[in-house]
A and B are shown apart, each in its own frame.
Chain A
Amino acid sequence: MIVIAGLTKKYGDLQALAGVDLQVDRGELFALLGPNGAGKTTMVRIMTGLTRRDGGTVLLGGLDIAAQPAAAKRQVGLVPQVVNLDTELTVYQNLDLHGRFFFMPAADRRARIAELLAYVELGDRAATPVKQLSGGMKRRLLIVRAMMHRPGILFMDEPTVGLDAAIRRRIWSIIRRIQGEGTTIFLTTHYIEEAEYLAGRVAFIDRGRIVTVDRPDRLVQRMGAWAVDYLVDNELRTECFPDREAARQAAAAVAGRVTIRRVNLEDAFLALTGRKVAGEA
């Protein structure tokens, strides 16, 4: 469904993407996890036709986004990181315009808008100007706007960034429902919990390179089951252990404040890159 080979991009001296290879299967929910500046947004921008690549190929459903942009874009929906809705226009007008940008016939647009607003429980907000919506409502609207033209692939660039935990979980349930209906989802995030909860497979990206790709549970299992966090000279150290007993024994040997917790993707990311994924879910 999505095939990326040798993708490169440079901004001046900065190598944003340094030869990325990835494949995402039809109907998969794939997460790209990495810290800010790792290259996540650049990848999404290239795959959705917003940014030109320097090298490599991106095939979306067999179509090259650079060679056949119009046909490829029809298969793709984009939920951007920034809420880029027309705030002066109503909820209905925002969706209707999107439908027009994708050449949907009038009757289809009307039916689809009613369907989508009901889907995200905004049916009573159709005539409300977007500026009057809450942050969570705007995010939901942003998601269904990307679904308006029935894309087979949905790119979501940090879809829950800046949202509180309750709204984030609501958005997650919507994302899961969309994937459950057969849409391929490519999600970028720097929230560990988001990737763990949603993704069938996760790719770690760091400094424009894909470090590893696997199922979240396998990535975690590679590290062990339990982790011990402790401070050494005010610097946080983490060690991973195969079972809780081993973790407890290690914790007992450490002076000062110690935390025993489950191993997560952050530990796997840290082990593979030497860096932490910024931000917590």
Chain B
Amino acid sequence: MRERPSTAAAAKVAPLAGSLAIFRREMLILRSRGKKVLLSMAVSPTLYLVAFGLGVGKGMRVDGHTYLEFLIPGLVAMGTMNQAFGIAGEINIARFYWKIFEEFQAAPISDLAYVVGEVLAGMAKAVMSVFIIVLLATLFGVQLAFYHPLFIAGVLLNAFVFASLAVLAAMLVKSHADQAMLFNFIITPMAFLGGTFFPVDRMPSWVQVLLQALPLTHASYLIRSGAYGRSASALPLVLLLVIGLVFFFLAHRSVCRARD
């Protein structure tokens, strides 16, 4: 076979190439699953909109808005979290079942590039889920300020937090069963308690203190403030950024340690 020169020079001029390759792989897999993924992203928001928005919350008003208007930003926060964290499942399957993680480890891409690629993939999935929820909201006749900078910042920060947590979790767990347990113990409670379905400030004060410890509570607040076209304090923005960076740092360390 005809040989060509080394690609080491190309590596030097493309520091992000490793991250983009990892990101591209996740997107190709997503594309290969096509409609199934998009439909699955739409199922639970549709159910919540019908059951809580049109059923339980009909005629109810929260902070001067219909319950449906209150619910949709919460669903955006929850959907973003679920989809971003969902990347953990993909990494897990690649690692434990298909052993594809070893293909990355044997390549000259850095651990940091790997984490960046996977986090970006998780964030991309999260943003896709937002488009679906916004589309559903439109179909349900709800118009909110989805273009508002706070809404966008809330979505992106929330996605960053949970995609980073997902990479961390995927490296720490030892099996698929552990992964499912993490989802049940961390993500599911947060989905219901993080200001998604009810206003946190209506809870008893001690419960409020506990709920303020959840990143999703701050994401819901930001996303809802943006969707309502309101301003918000900088604290949740800073908090989410800090939490996201901590998870990202820990995720990077955990990937380094995944070489047994």
Does any Cβ of B come within 8 Å of A231's Cβ?
Answer: no
Contact B32 A88 (CB under 8 A): yes
Quick one: given A88-B29, A115-B1, are A48 and B106 in contact (CB under 8 Å)?
yes
User: What is the interface of chain B, defined by CB distance below 8 A to chain A?
Assistant: 1-4, 6-8, 10-11, 14, 17-18, 20-21, 24-25, 28-29, 32-33, 98-100, 102-110, 259-260
Does any Cβ of B come within 8 Å of A49's Cβ?
Answer: yes
Contact B10 A105 (CB under 8 A): yes
- Quick one: CB contact mask for A50-76 with B, threshold 8 Å, 1 for yes? 111000000000000000011101101
Contact A86 B25 (CB under 8 A): yes
Neighbouring B residues of A129 by C-beta, 8 Å: 32
Contact A100 B24 (CB under 8 A): yes
Can you list the 4 inter-chain pairs with the closest CB atoms, starting with the nearest?
A: A100-B21, A101-B107, A103-B11, A70-B108
Neighbouring A residues of B14 by C-beta, 8 Å: 103
- A2: min CB distance to chain B, Å: 16
Contact B7 A104 (CB under 8 A): yes
Rounded to whole angstroms, the CA-CA distance of A78 and B104 in the bound complex is 11
Quick one: given A112-B4, A115-B2, are A84 and B25 in contact (CB under 8 Å)?
no
Neighbouring B residues of A88 by C-beta, 8 Å: 29, 32-33
Neighbouring B residues of A49 by C-beta, 8 Å: 105-106, 259
Neighbouring B residues of A105 by C-beta, 8 Å: 7, 10
- A217: min CB distance to chain B, Å: 29
Contact A80 B4 (CB under 8 A): no
Neighbouring B residues of A52 by C-beta, 8 Å: 259-260
Contact A74 B8 (CB under 8 A): yes
Contact B29 A89 (CB under 8 A): yes
* Nearest-neighbor residue (CB-CB) of A97 within chain B: B25
Rounded to whole angstroms, the CA-CA distance of A70 and B100 in the bound complex is 18
Quick one: given A88-B29, A129-B32, A181-B1, are A74 and B11 in contact (CB under 8 Å)?
yes
Neighbouring A residues of B18 by C-beta, 8 Å: 101, 103
Does any Cβ of B come within 8 Å of A98's Cβ?
Answer: yes
- A142: min CB distance to chain B, Å: 10
- Quick one: CB contact mask for A77-113 with B, threshold 8 Å, 1 for yes? 0101010111111000100011011111100100110
